[in-house]
């Protein structure tokens, strides 16, 4: 039986390897929650590198607290601003900027753990390079698998890196699998050999689950970002409202667990208490339950294969008024169907799906596109992308080329809306 260990902040685990951590995207919601967990266990975790795009003031505060060796920002101007702030605080931390510097931050020899929490395609290269370098990858950036799943999983297998999913749904699935709490090397795929029949991804349904379909074309970005259960960034909140987020998770689950699309089911679960489930061939269904708080999967990944107190309120079963599940309305959530089709098509189609969705969501957030036209823009882009229809995702160069082509097509199509 696996021993589960609860650790107080002043306790010591002599057998626990110090996790020297890079946080890719430290000023986003996942990054902030990662630091919230790390803060409780200075004897277990050490922050070595932090990266952020443009939230310089918050990044400077994080540097003042954790004293990383290196920080990376998005531009030269941001780097200059950060250097001034750190100088005023008398903090000796190296500051770099740009995509190449992100790779440096994720692959320093002193680092053994990378929290991959940069939203979107920008997180792809540093995450893959960290995998090639044999790091423990805590994967909160689903795009690395959506865009280049075969390449990414090959890098994990070749280097012997550990891969642990941080998305609440994939983390829940992993916890429900046979070897989740052993030291066998993290998510490995091909779980069908253990009697897994299917995995069931749960979705809250977002803020528009019950709104009249005729009203969807008039919803605002602020309404779309007002998630009923989770506190998330604006892009992922919109993805949750369209259920494209669940579509991307579907593709991610395929690569993580080695299951075909037909063995991955999506259910709407409005309470967000059951984070996902695994159905076995003997009729058993194992579920992971908990509060809708990302600190739980973050703490699980940081301390795996042990467990630590994540600072999350315990689930009170007596206060639960019921747990309900619903089928997904394909007419209300067309983005999920597009993701299923992209996964079945394979090749570079998931890359194009992700790229087109990023363009569409940004356009919606900027008031250039109606909520109901997000799916329309994505579908039109997939139909026009030649690389997505013909190409094979067998090199990173092709993946990046398909990503660029799809973004350019989506921008052209956007002008017609």
What is the DSSP pairing of strand 19-24 with strand 45-51?
A: parallel
CATH number of domain containing 109: 3.40.50.720
Instruction: Pull the structure tokens for residue 181.
Output: 């709490």
CA 343/CA 351 separation, integer angstroms? 10
- 355-385 in b/e form (b: 16+ CB < 10 A) is bbbbbbbbbbbeeebbbbbbbebbbbbbebb
Half-sphere exposure (Cβ direction) of 59: Cα atoms closer than 13 Å: 30
Instruction: Pull the structure tokens for residue 86.
Output: 């750190």
pLDDT score recorded for residue 122 = 85
pLDDT per 10-residue tile (average), the chain, 417 residues: 30 62 96 97 97 95 96 96 93 95 97 93 92 96 88 92 94 85 50 83 92 91 82 85 94 92 94 95 96 95 94 93 94 96 93 96 96 97 86 85 95 94
pLDDT score recorded for residue 41 = 96
**Does residue 158 fall inside a structural domain?**
yes
pLDDT score recorded for residue 5 = 29
**Does residue 38 fall inside a structural domain?**
yes
**Does residue 34 fall inside a structural domain?**
yes
pLDDT score recorded for residue 198 = 93
Domain that holds residue 138: 19-166
- The number of distinct structural domains making up the chain is 1
Whether omega for the bond prior to residue 38 falls within 30 degrees of 0, making it cis, is no
Half-sphere exposure (Cβ direction) of 362: Cα atoms closer than 13 Å: 12
pLDDT score recorded for residue 6 = 30
pLDDT score recorded for residue 234 = 87
CA 60/CA 12 separation, integer angstroms? 29
What is the DSSP pairing of strand 196-203 with strand 274-280?
A: antiparallel
Please count the other Cβ atoms lying within 10 Å of the Cβ belonging to residue 240.
24
User: In 15-93, which ranges are continuous DSSP H helix?
Assistant: 29-39, 56-66, 76-88
Q: Is 107 helix (H, G, I), strand (E, B) or coil?
A: helix
Instruction: Pull the structure tokens for residue 306.
Output: 């042990």
**Does residue 70 fall inside a structural domain?**
yes
- Strand order, beta sheet including 196-203: 264-268, 196-203, 274-280, 285-289
**Does residue 152 fall inside a structural domain?**
yes
**Does residue 319 fall inside a structural domain?**
no
Task: For Cα atoms 115, 121, 123, give the angle at the middle one, nearest 5 degrees.
Answer: 25
CA 268/CA 394 separation, integer angstroms? 34
pLDDT score recorded for residue 144 = 85
pLDDT score recorded for residue 364 = 96
Yes or no: say if 89 and 61 are a contact pair by the CB < 8 Å rule.
Answer: no
**Does residue 190 fall inside a structural domain?**
no
**Does residue 116 fall inside a structural domain?**
yes
């Amino acid at each position: 039986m696996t021993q589960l260990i609860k650790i107080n902040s002043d306790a010591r685990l002599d057998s626990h390897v110090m996790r020297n951590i890079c946080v890719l995207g430290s000023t986003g919601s996942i990054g902030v929650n990662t630091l919230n967990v790390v803060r409780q266990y200075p004897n277990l975790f050490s922050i070595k590198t932090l990266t952020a795009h443009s939230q310089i003031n918050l990044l400077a505060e994080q540097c003042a607290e954790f004293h990383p060796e290196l920080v990376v920002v998005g531009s030269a101007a941001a780097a200059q601003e950060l250097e001034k702030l750190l100088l005023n605080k008398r903090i000796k931390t190296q500051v770099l900027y740009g995509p190449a510097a992100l790779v440096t931050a994720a692959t320093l020899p002193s680092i053994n753990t990378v929290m991959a929490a940069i939203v979107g395609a920008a997180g792809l290269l540093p995450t893959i390079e960290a995998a090639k370098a044999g790091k423990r990858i805590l994967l909160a950036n689903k795009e690395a698998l959506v865009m280049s799943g075969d390449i990414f999983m090959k890098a994990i297998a070749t280097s012997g890196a550990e891969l642990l999913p941080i998305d609440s749904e994939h983390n829940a699935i992993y916890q429900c699998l046979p070897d989740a709490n052993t030291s066998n090397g993290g998510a490995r795929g091909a779980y069908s050999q253990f009697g897994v029949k299917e995995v069931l991804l749960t979705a809250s349904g977002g803020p528009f689950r019950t709104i009249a379909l005729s009203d969807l074309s008039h919803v605002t970005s602020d309404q779309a970002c007002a998630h009923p259960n989770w506190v998330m960034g604006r892009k992922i909140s919109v993805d949750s409202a369209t259920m494209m987020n669940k579509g991307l998770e579907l593709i991610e689950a395929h690569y993580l667990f080695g299951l075909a699309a037909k063995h991955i089911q999506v259910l709407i679960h409005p309470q967000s208490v059951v984070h996902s489930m695994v159905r076995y061939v003997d009729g058993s269904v194992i579920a992971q339950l908990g509060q809708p708080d990302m600190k739980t999967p973050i703490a699980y990944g940081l301390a795996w294969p042990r467990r630590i107190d994540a600072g999350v309120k315990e689930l009170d079963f007596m206060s639960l008024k019921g747990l309900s599940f619903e089928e997904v309305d394909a007419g209300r959530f067309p983005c999920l169907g597009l993701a299923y089709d992209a996964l079945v098509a394979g090749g570079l189609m998931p890359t194009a799906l992700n790229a087109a969705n990023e363009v569409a969501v940004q356009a919606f957030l900027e008031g250039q596109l109606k909520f109901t036209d997000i799916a329309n823009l994505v579908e039109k882009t997939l139909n026009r992308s030649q690389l997505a229809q013909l190409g094979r995702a067998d090199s990173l160069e092709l993946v990046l080329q398909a990503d660029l082509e799809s973004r350019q097509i989506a921008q052209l199509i956007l002008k017609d809306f």
